[in-house]
């Protein structure tokens, strides 16, 4: 499953175009891993047929992972998961009065048989990383990129540490 074989690898869907503000981080992360993706708005409640058709055709179209971001009673990831057996990653989008707690519970508390791999409230970037981790199982180049990113992260933390490091000894 090498990246760059011409197919779209990851589908990013979200319940509203306003969720793009959050979900853009997923796209950025996928690009950094050279993973191909597509972006679409579709609503579990307002355009349920689009959601169903998208999910049902996902495996056939060659998608490896679907990442679904939604807020409030966030049913999108769950409904997508109901119509496909490829991994579905859910991003609870913080919006409305309860700041994403409702979205988190509605996304993660799935019943037996139909899981949604849920990341943090607003954790769009990690949805991209998780998709990469899943796809790297059969893509050693991607696995290497993930490992490299981890090293960079550690270096980055060390770098940031210098901004605040001090000792009063």
Residue 88 is inside which H or E element, if any? strand 88-92
Tokens of 150: 């981890």
Size of the site for a second copy (CB under 8 A): 101
Q: Is 58 in the site for a second copy (CB under 8 A)?
A: no
Q: How many CB atoms lie within 10 A of CB 97?
A: 7
In angstroms, what is the C-alpha Rg of the chain? Answer: 17
Which 81-100 residues touch a second copy, going by CB under 8 A? 81-83, 85-87, 89, 94, 96-100
According to DSSP, the β-strands at 37-41 and 88-92 are unpaired
Q: Which of residues 62-81 bind a second copy (CB under 8 A)?
A: 64, 71-73, 75, 78-79, 81
Among 2, 28, 45, 141, binds a second copy (CB under 8 A): 45
3-42: which residues touch a second copy (CB under 8 A)?
Answer: 6-8, 14-17, 20, 27, 30-31, 36-42
Question: Site residues for a second copy, window 110-129 (CB under 8 A)?
Answer: 110-123, 125-127, 129
If you ran DSSP here, which 8-state letter would residue 40 be given? Answer: E
Give the distance from CA 96 to its chain's centroid.
21
């Amino acid at each position: 499953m090498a990246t760059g074989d011409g197919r779209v690898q990851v589908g990013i869907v979200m319940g509203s175009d306003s969720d793009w503000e959050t979900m853009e981080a997923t796209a950025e992360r996928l690009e950094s891993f050279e993973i191909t993706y597509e972006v679409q708005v579709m609503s579990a409640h307002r355009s349920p047929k689009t959601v169903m058709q998208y999910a049902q055709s996902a495996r056939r179209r060659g998608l490896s992972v679907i990442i679904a971001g939604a807020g409030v009673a966030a049913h999108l990831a769950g409904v997508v998961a109901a119509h496909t057996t490829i991994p579905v990653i859910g991003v609870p989008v913080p919006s409305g009065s309860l700041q994403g707690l409702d979205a988190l519970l509605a996304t993660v508390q799935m019943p037996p048989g139909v899981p949604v791999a849920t990341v943090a409230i607003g954790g769009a970037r990690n949805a991209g990383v998780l998709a990469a981790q899943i796809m790297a199982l059969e893509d050693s180049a991607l696995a290497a990129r993930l490992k490299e990113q981890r090293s960079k992260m550690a270096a980055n933390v060390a770098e940031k540490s210098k901004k605040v490091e001090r000792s009063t000894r």
